[in-house]
Amino acid sequence: MIPAQMNYVRAESVEEAVSLLQESNGEGTILAGGHSLLPLIKFRITEPETLIDISRIPNLSGARIEDDRLIIGALTTHYDVSTNKLVKEHIPALAKSASVIGDLQIRNRGTIGGNIAHGDPVADYPAIALALNAELAIQNEDGVEATPIDGFVLGPLITMIPENGIVTEVSFEIPPTHTKQTYLKFFHPATAYPVVGVAAVAGVNDAGEIDYVRVGVTGVSDVAYRALEVEEALANKQPTEELIKAAAQLATEDGDMGEDLFASEEYRDHLTKVYVERALKEILLG
Confidence of residue 1 (pLDDT cuts 50, 70, 90): low
The model's pLDDT over 6-64, given as tens digits with 9 standing for 90+, comes to 899 999 999 999 999 999 988 889 989 877 777 777 777 777 888 999 999 999 999 99
Please tell me whether residues 85 and 158 are part of one structural domain.
yes
CATH number for position 156: 3.30.465.10
- If one counts the domains in the chain, the total is 3
Looking at the structure, tell me whether residues 26 and 97 fall in a common domain. no
Note whether residue 82 is domain-resident: yes
Same domain, yes or no: 168 and 202: no
Kindly give the pairing relationship between strand 225-226 and strand 7-10. unpaired
Residues spanned by the domain of 97: 63-173
Which residue, among 111, 117, 155, 118, has the nearest Cα to 39 in the 3D structure? 118
Question: Per-residue pLDDT tens for 61-105?
Answer: 999 999 999 999 999 999 999 999 999 999 999 999 999 999 999
| 1, part of any domain | no
How far from chain centre, in Å, is Cα 107?
Answer: 14
The H or E element that residue 145 is part of is strand 143-148
* CATH code of the domain containing 12: 3.30.43.10
Digit-coded pLDDT (tens) for 206-239? 999 999 999 999 999 999 999 999 999 999 999 9
Query: Would you state the pLDDT for residue 229?
Result: 98
Verify that 147 and 206 share a domain, yes or no. no
Q: Which residues does 45 contact at the CB level (< 8 Å), separation at least 6? A: none
Among 173, 192, 219, the domain-final residue is: 173
Whether residue 20 is found in the same domain as residue 70: no
